[in-house]
Structure formats: structure tokens, C-alpha cells
């Protein structure tokens, strides 16, 4: 029998890539990439992710889409269903940060971050839920952030988007739990990725001091929890947010 299907948005690199590779042990994967800024680079990276998945005995497809755009997000869900015969798990992972003090923040910066991090989850979930409801099963896993729970200077838009994802998760859990669909959120702390590699070394050192485990997290630390939430063992977990931050926010 064919393995069930998982779509991971923004999975050409970083945390999404690790999630796609981990989920591929039990799912066929739609690896989503977005090419607007780095034309062809993200597509090539997505192909690399799929090659790794296939080498390990898994399968899937790569699908380009801008999840911050409602039409493109809806097409991504349709393409996933058309290419892989369904969608059982949706991981809303795509995200950006454009750090800026609020008094200097432009409308465009605000909207870019909200659209990419929060509205995208709505666009993708809306389309996927229609299919999941018919099957009376499905999992939606939203990648939030500890910043959405605590706020952060220079990240008003990012924190608002990640906090918004939590309210969104709780609402999906209540609205679609009765249809056999669960929704949960994962809140990573500081994870080694392109997003945090941009930070100056002294900022990384200061962050590490706040983490009881004494290290930044890895994309694989996040992927392990997502794989659990997507598994049959997590069938009764619904509407939760789980921090993966090395104990930073205790």
C-alpha cells in the first residue's frame, strides 16, 4: 500500500528540509520551494532534498509555490493532491523574518512577514481541510516560535505572526477536531539555520547563555517532534503548542 502524504511548506532548506527528510520515513512528501528571491537556487535545493529522500527509499515530488499568495497556496494543495493522490499531513513551516524596530518598520515589512508566516497557514489549511474533511482524518502542524509566546524587540511583526499561528491552531483544533482532524503547533527556540546564521557571533553567544542545554537547537530537533505529531501515537494530541527550546523559556 502507498504511504500517506505530507506537504511541508518551505522545505528546500533549514527546518523544513529536516522535517521533510524525517517525515519521508513514513510519508510520501511534497517538498515545497519558493523561487522569487533566489531564482532557481531554491528549486535546486528542493530537488536535492527529494534526491536524498529517494536515496533513503522514500518518494515524493517538488512543487514550487508562494504560500503567501492565496491562489498559489491553493494551487500547491491541488498539485499535492493531484501528484500524490491526497494530503494527510500539512506542515505550515514557510517563514521569513525582516527584523526592524517598530518605529522604523514599513507597511511592506509588516505585511510581508504577516502574509508569509500567518496568512499562508490559513490559505494552505483552508484548501487542505476541504480534502481532509472528506477523508475524516488529517493533521495540521504549524511551526510557530517561542518569540510568539514572549515577544522580542525588533520582531513585532514576526512575534505577532507566530502568536497568531497559536490562536489559529487552537481554532482549527476546535473547529475540525469533530471531523477527525488535529491541529498542533511547535514553538522552536533558537535553531541553527539560515535564519539564525545571519546573526552576529556575539548575539548567538548571548542566546546560548540563556539555554539550559547550552547549545542552539538543530533542525533535526524540530523534525523529531513534527514526526511524532504526524504519527499514529499522537492521535489524541490536539490544540497544543509544544516548545522545543532546550529549556530556554522555563
Residues 165-184 as x/- pattern, contact with ligand NAD by CB under 6 A: --------------------
Residue 68 engages ligand NAD in binding (rule: CB under 6 A): yes
User: Of these, 52, 114, 133, 195, which contacts ligand NAD (CB under 6 A)?
Assistant: 195
Q: Which of these segments, 51-59, 60-68, 129-137, 167-175, binds ligand NAD (CB under 6 A)?
A: 60-68
User: Of these, 163, 188, 223, 227, which contacts ligand NAD (CB under 6 A)?
Assistant: 188
Chain center to CA of 175: 21
Shortest distance in whole angstroms from residue 220 CB to ligand NAD: 12
Residue 95 engages ligand NAD in binding (rule: CB under 6 A): yes
Q: How far apart are CA 155 and CA 134, in angstroms?
A: 39
Residue 163 engages ligand NAD in binding (rule: CB under 6 A): no
Q: How far apart are CA 165 and CA 182, in angstroms?
A: 15
Catalytic residues: 158
Nearer to ligand NAD, 193 or 238 (CB): 193
Own/partner long-range contacts of 99-103 (Cβ < 8 Å, ≥24 apart) = 99/154, 99/155, 99/158, 100/154, 100/157, 101/153, 101/154, 102/156
C-alpha distance across the termini of the chain, in Å: 44
User: Of these, 96, 113, 121, 181, which contacts ligand NAD (CB under 6 A)?
Assistant: 96
**CB–CB of 191/220 below 8 Å?**
no
User: Of these, 5, 31, 62, 67, which contacts ligand NAD (CB under 6 A)?
Assistant: 67
Q: What is the number of other CB atoms lying within 10 angstroms of the CB of residue 61?
A: 18
**CB–CB of 17/11 below 8 Å?**
yes
Q: Within positions 9 to 48, which residues make up the interface with ligand NAD, using CB under 6 A?
A: 9-10, 12-16, 32, 34, 42
Residue 77 engages ligand NAD in binding (rule: CB under 6 A): no
In three-state secondary structure terms, 151 is coil
Residue 142 engages ligand NAD in binding (rule: CB under 6 A): no
Q: How far apart are CA 37 and CA 62, in angstroms?
A: 18
Which residues lie near ligand NAD (CB under 6 A)? 9-10, 12-16, 32, 34, 42, 66-68, 93-96, 116-117, 143, 145, 188, 190-191, 193-196
Amino acid at each position: 500500500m502507498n504511504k500517506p502524504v505530507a506537504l511541508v511548506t518551505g522545505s528546500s532548506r533549514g527546518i523544513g528540509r529536516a522535517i521533510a527528510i524525517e517525515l519521508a520515513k513514513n510519508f510520501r512528501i511534497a517538498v515545497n520551494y519558493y523561487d522569487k528571491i533566489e531564482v532557481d537556487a531554491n528549486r535546486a535545493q528542493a530537488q536535492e532534498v527529494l534526491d536524498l529522500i529517494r536515496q533513503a527509499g522514500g518518494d515524493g515530488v517538488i512543487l514550487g509555490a508562494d504560500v503567501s499568495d492565496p491562489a498559489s497556496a491553493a494551487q500547491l494543495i491541488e498539485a499535492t493532491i493531484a501528484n500524490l493522490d491526497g494530503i494527510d499531513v500539512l506542515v505550515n513551516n514557510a517563514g521569513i523574518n525582516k527584523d526592524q524596530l517598530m518605529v522604523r518598520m514599513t507597511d511592506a515589512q509588516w505585511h510581508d512577514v504577516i502574509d508569509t508566516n500567518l496568512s499562508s497557514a490559513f490559505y494552505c489549511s483552508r484548501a487542505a481541510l476541504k480534502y481532509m474533511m472528506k477523508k475524516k482524518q488529517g493533521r495540521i502542524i504549524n511551526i510557530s516560535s517561542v518569540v510568539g509566546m514572549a515577544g522580542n524587540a525588533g520582531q513585532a511583526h514576526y512575534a505577532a505572526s507566530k502568536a497568531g499561528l497559536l490562536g489559529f491552531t487552537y481554532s482549527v483544533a476546535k473547529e475540525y477536531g469533530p471531523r477527525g482532524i488535529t491541529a498542533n503547533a511547535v514553538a522552536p527556540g533558537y535553531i541553527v539555520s539560515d535564519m539564525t546564521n545571519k546573526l552576529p557571533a556575539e548575539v548567538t553567544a548571548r542566546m546560548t547563555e540563556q539555554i539550559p542545554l547550552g547549545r542552539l537547537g538543530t533542525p533535526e530537533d524540530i523534525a523529531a517532534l513534527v514526526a511524532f505529531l504526524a504519527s499514529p501515537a499522537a492521535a489524541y494530541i490536539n490544540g497544543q503548542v509544544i516548545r522545543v527550546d532546550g529549556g530556554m523559556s522555563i
